[in-house]
């Protein structure tokens, strides 16, 4: 039995294609692996706090030296990191916002990228000072975009800071087995959107059904 952490990042509700498709991924997953545990976190509609000065002070203070005030400053982050580390598999639904990701997902990422928890710093090793601590995990990212041309080979590929950033930041933590389902034409409607949705759903069904052979 595996533990899945399902994240949605869109502030939209019913009108969100990333939210709908990530939900369809989970539904397909349950059909194949009904005994898996699924934890859901909606950072789009229930955002987590942004990092502030007290958070930074707490994150870089040895645990045994934390004051009650600093423990409170890092409390939510500790909870989110524990939840993140408890998962074996991650499923994330995320739209492109202004060439990147919604600020709510960035705030979540800032909460879980923690020295000593999800990565280690070894300054005595200047050739490779950053060491990942989140190993042996898999991640599925359903990335939607309003326009088109942001994928590999597209005319706006160099302007895509959505999927490359997610691959880089989670890879920094040690999650390198990341599968993307990318859906464009979100805002165009009509036949182009219908085809994009059909293609995304086909990929989702294949990924969920063939997980153990990946």
Per-residue pLDDT of the chain (214 residues; tens, 9 = 90+): 899 999 999 999 888 999 999 999 999 999 999 999 999 999 999 999 999 999 999 999 999 999 999 999 999 999 999 999 999 999 999 999 999 999 999 999 999 999 999 999 988 888 899 999 999 999 999 999 999 999 999 999 999 999 999 999 999 999 999 999 999 987 767 788 889 899 999 999 999 887 755 5
Instruction: List Cβ neighbours of 193 (8 Å cut-off, separation of 6 or more).
Output: 185, 186
pTM over 0.85: yes
Sheet bearing 177-183, strands edge to edge: 37-42, 3-8, 89-95, 138-144, 177-183
pLDDT at 3: 96
Question: What is the distance between the alpha carbons of residues 138 and 91, in angstroms, rounded to a whole number?
Answer: 9
pLDDT digits (tens, 9 = 90+) for 135-147: 999 999 999 999 9
User: Tokens 């000065």 — which residue?
Assistant: 53
| Beta bridge partner(s), residue 138 | 89, 177
For residue 212, the model assigns a pLDDT of 59
pLDDT above 90: percentage of residues in the chain? 84
Cβ atoms of 93 and 21 closer than 8 Å: yes
CATH number at residue 48: 3.40.50.360
Element (H, E) at 130: strand 130-132
Neighbours of 123 (CB within 10 A): 7
Report how many domains make up the chain: 1
Structural domain harbouring 120: 3-213
CA distance 101 to 183: 14
Q: Could you tell me if 83 and 7 are in contact, meaning their C-beta atoms sit under 8 angstroms apart?
A: no
- DSSP lists the bridge partners of residue 189 as none
């Amino acid at each position: 039995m595996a533990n899945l952490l399902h994240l949605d990042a869109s502030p939209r509700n019913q009108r969100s294609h990333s939210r709908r498709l990530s939900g369809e991924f989970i539904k397909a997953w349950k059909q194949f692996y009904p005994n898996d545990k699924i934890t859901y976190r909606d950072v789009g509609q229930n955002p987590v706090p942004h990092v502030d000065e007290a958070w930074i002070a707490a994150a870089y203070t040895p645990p045994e030296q934390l004051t009650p005030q600093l423990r409170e400053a890092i409390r939510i982050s500790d909870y989110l990191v524990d939840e993140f580390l408890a998962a074996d598999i991650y499923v994330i639904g995320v739209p492109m916002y202004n060439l990147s990701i919604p600020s709510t997902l960035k705030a979540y990422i800032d909460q879980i990228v923690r020295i000593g928890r999800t990565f280690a710093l070894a300054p005595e090793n200047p050739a490779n000072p950053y060491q990942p601590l989140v190993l042996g995990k898999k991640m599925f990212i359903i990335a939607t975009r309003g326009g088109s041309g942001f994928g590999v080979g597209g005319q706006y590929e160099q302007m895509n800071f959505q999927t490359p950033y997610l691959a880089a930041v989670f890879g920094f933590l040690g999650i390198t087995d990341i599968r993307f389902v990318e859906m464009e034409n979100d805002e165009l409607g009509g036949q182009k959107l219908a085809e994009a949705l059909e293609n995304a759903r086909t990929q989702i069904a294949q990924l969920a059904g063939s997980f153990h052979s990946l």
